[in-house]
Chain A
Amino acid sequence: MLGLLTSEMTSDEALHQLKDLPRYEAIDYVKEVCTGQLYSWSGNPNDAASKMSHPAARKTAHRDHIVVVDGGVKYNILRILHGLGNSVVVVPCTSSAKDILKLKPDGVVFSPGPGNPALLGYMEEAMKGLVGQKPVMGICLGHQILGRAFGGRTFKLKFGHRGGNHPVKDLISGRVHITAQNHGFAVDGEMLKGDLEVSHVNLNDGTVEGLRHKELPVFSIQYHSEASPGPRDNVYMFERFMEMVRENKK
C-alpha cells in the first residue's frame, strides 16, 4: 500500500497527493539504483573484518571471473564472491548477453533488486542469452528474472516477505533452512517451461523460493544467501555456484 510520510503537509493534502501518484509496481526502480558503468570489486580496505570473508579462500590467487549483473546489488554479495577467491566485475542492469559474454566470465550472477520484475524485459533477454552459455545464479530479483525467462509468471504478494527468519525447504535434500528475505513479488511455478523446476519452497505460505535447471548449470534462490542482515546459514549457495563454475570449465 502506498503511503506518504511528511512533516510539511496536512493529512488531507497528503491523501489528495496520494491519489495522483503512480503505482509502485509500475515504476522501474532497477534503473534508478543500478550502476551506470562497469566496475570491478577489489574488496574493501576498510572492511578487514568483512563479515563474510572466507579464510580458506583468501590466501589463494583469484581463480574464477564472475560477472554480477546489477539490478540493485548488495555489497555483501560482492564481498562473499571476492572472499571466495574470484575476480568480480559488476555491470549495469541494461547489459546485453553479448556485452556480458565479451567479458569472458566463468559465471554470471543476477543480483537482487527492487520493484516489479515484469518491467524488466531487458534483463530477461540477457538471461535468455546467457543460460546455456555460462553458469548462472539468480538471487531474489535475479531469481524472478530466471523464472520469467522460462515462461513463469510473477505476481505481487499481499504483504511480501521481509525479515530474518523465513523457513525454506530444499525439495531435493529435504532440509529446511532459515533464510533472510526481502521480496514483494514471487514466481508462480505453474507455468515454467523447459527444464526449469522448483527446488525450494517457503514453509510459511508455500511460495516458490528456488529454481534449478535439470541439465544446465543454472539455479536461483528467492531468499538472500548473502544474509546481511540475517542468518549466514545459506552462504553455502555461493560455494555451490563456484563448484558449478569449476565443473563447467572442465
Chain B
Amino acid sequence: MRKAILVLEDGTVYEGYSFGGESTAWGEVVFNTSMTGYQEMLTDPSYAGQIVVPTYPLIGNYGINEQDVESRRIQVKGFVIREECRGPATGRARRPSTSPWPRTASPASPGWIPEPSPATCARPG
C-alpha cells in the first residue's frame, strides 16, 4: 500500500495509506457523524467536490450491496477513514471484497454498483 497524505489549506498534514485509487484529489473536507451508511455517502451527489471523513471508525463492515446505491456513480472526491474492514459480514453484501470500494459494474442494470471515481482514499498508518 502506498503512503498517502491529506493536506489542509491551513498547512495541517495527516499521513496515512491509500486504499482504492492511487492518485490526487482535492475538495472541501467535511465530516459525517453517521454510524452507518458509507455506501449512501459515497454515492450521494451532495458530496460532489468534497472529501468525506466519516467519524465512525470502522468502514466496510457490511460490504457493498445493490440496494443502497443513491446515484449512478461514486460522487465523493475522496474518502478518509480510520480503519478498513476486510471481512464484511451481511447477507445483503454483493461485494465481500477486502475493501468497501466496488471493483466491477454492469451499467446496464439500474441497480448496478458504481465504479470508484478517480478519488483517492486514505487511512492512517
- Which A residues form the contact surface with B (CB < 8 A)? 1-9, 11, 14-15, 17-19, 21, 24, 27, 29, 32-34, 44-47, 49-51, 72-76, 112-115, 140-141, 159-160, 162-165, 180, 182-184, 228-230
Residue-wise interface mask of B (17-44) relative to A, using a CB-CB cutoff of 8 A (1 in contact, 0 not):
0100011111111111111110011001
The answer to whether B48 touches A3 (Cβ under 8 A) is: no
The answer to whether B32 touches A162 (Cβ under 8 A) is: yes
Q: Which residues of chain A come closer than 8 Å to B48, judged between CB atoms?
A: 29, 32-33, 72, 114-115
The answer to whether B120 touches A162 (Cβ under 8 A) is: no
Within the complex, which residue of B24, B45, B51, B71 is in contact with A7, where a contact is CB–CB below 8 Å?
A: B24
Closest chain A residue, CB of each to CB of B15: A11
A180-B34, A228-B37 known; A2-B27 Cβ under 8 A: yes
The answer to whether B45 touches A2 (Cβ under 8 A) is: no
Closest chain B residue, CB of each to CB of A29: B48
The answer to whether A114 touches B49 (Cβ under 8 A) is: yes
Q: Which residues of chain A come closer than 8 Å to B31, judged between CB atoms?
A: 159, 162
> How close is B68's CB to chain A, nearest CB, in angstroms?
7
A-B CB contact pairs (8 Å), 28 listed? A1-B10, A5-B6, A5-B26, A7-B2, A7-B5, A7-B24, A8-B22, A15-B9, A21-B26, A27-B49, A29-B48, A33-B45, A45-B110, A46-B67, A46-B109, A47-B66, A47-B67, A49-B67, A72-B46, A74-B71, A114-B49, A115-B49, A163-B33, A165-B34, A182-B32, A182-B47, A228-B68, A229-B34
Q: Which residues of chain A come closer than 8 Å to B68, judged between CB atoms?
A: 51, 228-229
The answer to whether A162 touches B7 (Cβ under 8 A) is: no
Tell me the total A-B contact number using a CB cutoff of 8 A.
Answer: 180
The answer to whether A7 touches B22 (Cβ under 8 A) is: yes
> How close is A167's CB to chain B, nearest CB, in angstroms?
13
Rounded to whole angstroms, the CA-CA distance of A11 and B13 in the bound complex is 7
Instruction: Check: B11 CB closer than 8 A to any chain A CB.
Output: yes
The answer to whether A114 touches B45 (Cβ under 8 A) is: yes
Q: Which residues of chain B come closer than 8 Å to A46, judged between CB atoms?
A: 66-67, 109-111
The answer to whether A74 touches B44 (Cβ under 8 A) is: yes
The answer to whether A7 touches B40 (Cβ under 8 A) is: no
Instruction: Check: B3 CB closer than 8 A to any chain A CB.
Output: yes
The answer to whether A3 touches B6 (Cβ under 8 A) is: yes
Instruction: Check: B4 CB closer than 8 A to any chain A CB.
Output: yes
The answer to whether B26 touches A29 (Cβ under 8 A) is: no
The answer to whether B7 touches A3 (Cβ under 8 A) is: yes
Instruction: Check: B69 CB closer than 8 A to any chain A CB.
Output: yes
Q: Which residues of chain A come closer than 8 Å to B116, judged between CB atoms?
A: none
A47-B111, A114-B45, A229-B41 known; A4-B50 Cβ under 8 A: no
The answer to whether B4 touches A3 (Cβ under 8 A) is: no
The answer to whether B37 touches A164 (Cβ under 8 A) is: yes
A5-B122, A8-B22 known; A74-B10 Cβ under 8 A: no
> How close is A186's CB to chain B, nearest CB, in angstroms?
14
Q: Which 5 A-B pairs have the closest CB atoms?
A: A229-B37, A46-B111, A72-B45, A163-B33, A3-B29
